[in-house]
Amino acid sequence: MGSVKSFRNLVFLVLFFLSAPLVLAQEGFTNETRALYILDISRYVLFNDAEQGREDFLITLLDNDTDLFFDLEKLSKTRKEIQGLPIRIRVCTDIEKLEPGQLVFLNREDGFEMDEVIKKTRGANTLLISEGYPFRSSMINFVVIDGEPQFEANEELMLREGLYVNESFLAHAIKTREDWESLYEVTEDELELEKSITEQQYLLIEQQQDQIRDQEVLIGDNRKTLNKLRGEIEEREAEILEKTAVLQIQEGEIKEQSTTIETQIKEVNQQREILAKQELSIREKEEAITQKETEIRKQDEKIVVQAEAIQKQKIIILAAALALLLLFGLAYFIWRNYLLKKRANVLLQAQRDQIAYQKKHITDSIEYAKKIQTAILPTMELFSHNLDHFVLFKPRDIVSGDFYWAEEVEGKYMIVTADCTGHGVPGAFMSMLGVSLLNEIIISNEITRPDSILNELRDKIIEALKQDSGSILKDGMDMTICLFDSQTKHLQFSGANNPLYLVSDGVLTQIKGDKMPVAIHEVMDPFTLHQLELKEGDTFYTFSDGFADQFGGPKEKKFLTKNFRNLIVHIQNLPMIEQGKRLDEVFADYRKEVEQVDDVVIVGVRA
């Protein structure tokens, strides 16, 4: 049965090539006839068995114009598949970027060199169809003779590439100009038969033209949509360039601030050493003065005893003289001690003023660093116009080692929470490095799979901090990355040490991250990608460990992860914004007067 069907298809193709010149004799080749010839010929070429694993039938147009693409696209929607494979059509304007498939078409008018194309596709089991090239330079070459479209076939070149065509098909191809002229030596009966076939072809062409007109309307709509999307992409690219420029400026300012802070810290340490030496010297002098005052008191007692033994006539004179001498000496020592203490106090006050100035200068620098960190972080609202969520962000110091990052990527929402090594200024440096690298990886390099982002970020952290297996410096960050599609409720998650909490129907499920940080580590396996299907009303949370590690309560113990999970389940009936406020209230009530031990960041999203 299959052989009968193949024979009928072959007969139809032969009749088509016999009748096509009569229909198109006054036109030569048009884009419509080119598309029709390309699809019909490709159905009857047998490719070798090594290529049977292809998923689609790829037709590549080496073309500087897209008109043929649209005609071929219209006709392929009617045919739908070739040799049981769906049809895929692409346009290529550069031979160097040519992706060999089952078929490549090129026109000599576009200026492509046939030898370069044959060299590019050699060994790929690819059928070359061309137009207007010299005889036998291509596998199948479209030519127009006396205004009529025809084709020539180079069987030797096709066999060399492992392509096979039925002999009956090859019999109707041009091999020489004499072959071309002999094609028209037919009898009157054959012409009548061809005329009948031609009429049937006219009917088929009219039906296809109706379909083509419908497709042209659809393509027009698609072009409008494409132009609109191109405009949006250009606006987005402009925004990215502006953000990149701002980030570069901010990175320069951070480097300058870092240098200034290091210099100031060195100066403060030197001042502290000088102040400690001066305070020690002052204490020694005060002890010496106290010892001298004790000796003076003892001497006064001796003088009094001796004065009593002197004759009564000299008691008054000696007592007066000694009293005057005592007063003079005491006044001298008091005056001298006053000068020394005054001088020491003036010096001490100057040093204290200098230390206060240095402290204020450092604090101002850190406050400015906070402004920079706040500027590069997203706002608390993130995606408030499309996504029900909250962000709880509580730095322990002025600047934070925890951070969050968010971006809308291809209609999906990328959400990142991270806990960097340390807190305060060192943690802030790590967080700013993390934000800068995330912008480069996700926005500039367009990497959107969470596990791939973690792998790339780990490599860049190791490179930036010059870490190796024997390095003492193993600073890095724990991180969770989520990519959420609000339309399909599909969630992708990858974690470095930190988990994801998912609450569905009142039940909390923990999806664990990999037990390794985003830094140099004993284990350096690729990070795992978790694929989750959510339903309407489900909620998920990413966070650092600052909330669960906080001390407080009546016994000043840790809040603990178990209590944090119970709290998440308990607040499920609240809107997401109210959940964030409730978490903040519980944290403040539990901590009370106890110092905050770590930075805190929590992001919650409702599907």
Mean pLDDT value of segment 322-344: 80
568 versus 326: the higher-pLDDT residue is 568
Q: Is 196's pLDDT higher than 80?
A: no
Least confident range from 417-431, 454-468, 539-553: namely 417-431
* Structure tokens, 126: 């690819």
Q: Is 563's pLDDT higher than 70?
A: yes
281 versus 70: the higher-pLDDT residue is 70
Q: Quickly state the pLDDT bin for 487 (edges 50, 70, 90).
A: very high
Q: How far apart, in Å, are the Cα atoms of 8 and each of 3, 12, 13?
A: 9, 6, 9
Mean pLDDT value of segment 72-76: 89
Q: d(Cα 470, Cα 476) in Å, to the nearest integer?
A: 15
Least confident range from 356-365, 383-392, 455-464: namely 356-365
Least confident range from 85-94, 125-134, 345-354, 460-469: namely 345-354
Q: Mapping DSSP to helix (H, G, I), strand (E, B) and coil, where does residue 378 land?
A: coil
Strand partners, 174: 152
Q: Quickly state the pLDDT bin for 370 (edges 50, 70, 90).
A: low
Per cent of the chain over pLDDT 70 is 85
DSSP letters, 384-420, are TTT-EEEEEEE-SSSS-SEEEEEEEETTEEEEEEEEE
Q: d(Cα 305, Cα 548) in Å, to the nearest integer?
A: 76
DSSP-derived pairing of the beta strands 507-511 and 500-504: antiparallel
Q: Is 575's pLDDT higher than 90?
A: yes
Mean pLDDT value of segment 384-400: 88
Query: What pLDDT score does 176 carry?
Result: 58
Query: What pLDDT score does 357 carry?
Result: 62
Q: Amino acid identity, residue 310?
A: I
pLDDT digit string, tens, across residues 164-179: 887 777 777 776 556 5
Query: What pLDDT score does 198 carry?
Result: 66
Query: What pLDDT score does 581 carry?
Result: 96
DSSP letters, 511-572, are E--BSS-SS--S--PPPPPEEEE--TT-EEEEE-STTTT-EETTTTEE--HHHHHHHHHHTT
Strand partners, 405: 416
DSSP letters, 179-212, are HHHHTT---HHHHHHHHHHHHHHHHHHHHHHHHH
Query: What pLDDT score does 598 carry?
Result: 93
Q: d(Cα 84, Cα 211) in Å, to the nearest integer?
A: 22
Q: Quickly state the pLDDT bin for 302 (edges 50, 70, 90).
A: confident
Q: Mapping DSSP to helix (H, G, I), strand (E, B) and coil, where does residue 237 land?
A: helix
498 versus 263: the higher-pLDDT residue is 498
User: For residue 163, which phi and psi values (nearest 5 degrees)?
Assistant: -110, 140
Q: How far apart, in Å, are the Cα atoms of 495 and each of 409, 410, 480?
A: 19, 22, 4
Sheet holding 148-153, edge to edge: 81-82, 85-92, 57-62, 103-107, 127-131, 140-145, 148-153
Least confident range from 11-25, 273-287, 340-354, 518-532: namely 11-25
Centre a 10 Å sphere on the Cβ of residue 473 and count the other Cβ atoms it contains.
12
Least confident range from 78-92, 171-185, 202-216, 252-266: namely 171-185
529 versus 66: the higher-pLDDT residue is 529
Query: What pLDDT score does 201 carry?
Result: 74
401 versus 327: the higher-pLDDT residue is 401
Q: Is 7's pLDDT higher than 70?
A: no
394 versus 301: the higher-pLDDT residue is 394
Phi/psi zone of residue 552: left (φ > 0), alpha (ψ -120 to 50 degrees), beta? left
Q: Quickly state the pLDDT bin for 103 (edges 50, 70, 90).
A: very high
Angle CA 274–278–279, to nearest 5:
115
Mean pLDDT value of segment 424-436: 88
Under 8 Å between Cβ of 105 and 59: yes
Q: d(Cα 443, Cα 416) in Å, to the nearest integer?
A: 14
Query: What pLDDT score does 21 carry?
Result: 41
Buried b (16+ CB within 10 A) or exposed e, 417-447: bbbbbebbbebbbbbbbbbbbbbbbbbeeeb
Which of 384, 380, 400 lies closest to 392, judged by CA? Answer: 380
* Structure tokens, 512: 């664990």
Which of 495, 535, 538 lies closest to 513, judged by CA? Answer: 495
Strand partners, 532: 491
pLDDT digit string, tens, across residues 208-225: 878 888 888 888 888 888
Centre a 10 Å sphere on the Cβ of residue 285 and count the other Cβ atoms it contains.
14
Q: Quickly state the pLDDT bin for 367 (edges 50, 70, 90).
A: low
DSSP letters, 317-346, are HHHHHHHHHHHHHHHHHHHHHHHHHHHHHH
Q: d(Cα 379, Cα 402) in Å, to the nearest integer?
A: 15
Q: d(Cα 244, Cα 265) in Å, to the nearest integer?
A: 31
Distance of CA 118 to the CA centre of its chain: 40
* Structure tokens, 12: 């139809």
Mean pLDDT value of segment 420-434: 86
Q: Is 45's pLDDT higher than 90?
A: no
Query: What pLDDT score does 377 carry?
Result: 76
Question: Would you say the C-alpha torsion 22, 27, 29, 32 has a positive or negative sign?
Answer: negative
Mean pLDDT value of segment 267-296: 81
Q: Is 422's pLDDT higher than 80?
A: no
Q: Is 32's pLDDT higher than 60?
A: yes
Query: What pLDDT score does 446 carry?
Result: 94
Under 8 Å between Cβ of 575 and 368: no
Q: Is 556's pLDDT higher than 70?
A: yes
Query: What pLDDT score does 346 carry?
Result: 76
Distance of CA 168 to the CA centre of its chain: 57
The radius of gyration computed from the CA coordinates of the chain, to the nearest angstrom, equals 44
- The chain-wide mean pLDDT, for the chain, equals 83
Strand partners, 145: 148
Distance of CA 332 to the CA centre of its chain: 78
Q: Quickly state the pLDDT bin for 359 (edges 50, 70, 90).
A: low
Mean pLDDT value of segment 442-470: 92
Per cent of the chain over pLDDT 90 is 37
Under 8 Å between Cβ of 390 and 576: yes
Mean pLDDT value of segment 308-332: 77
Q: d(Cα 172, Cα 20) in Å, to the nearest integer?
A: 12
Under 8 Å between Cβ of 530 and 501: no
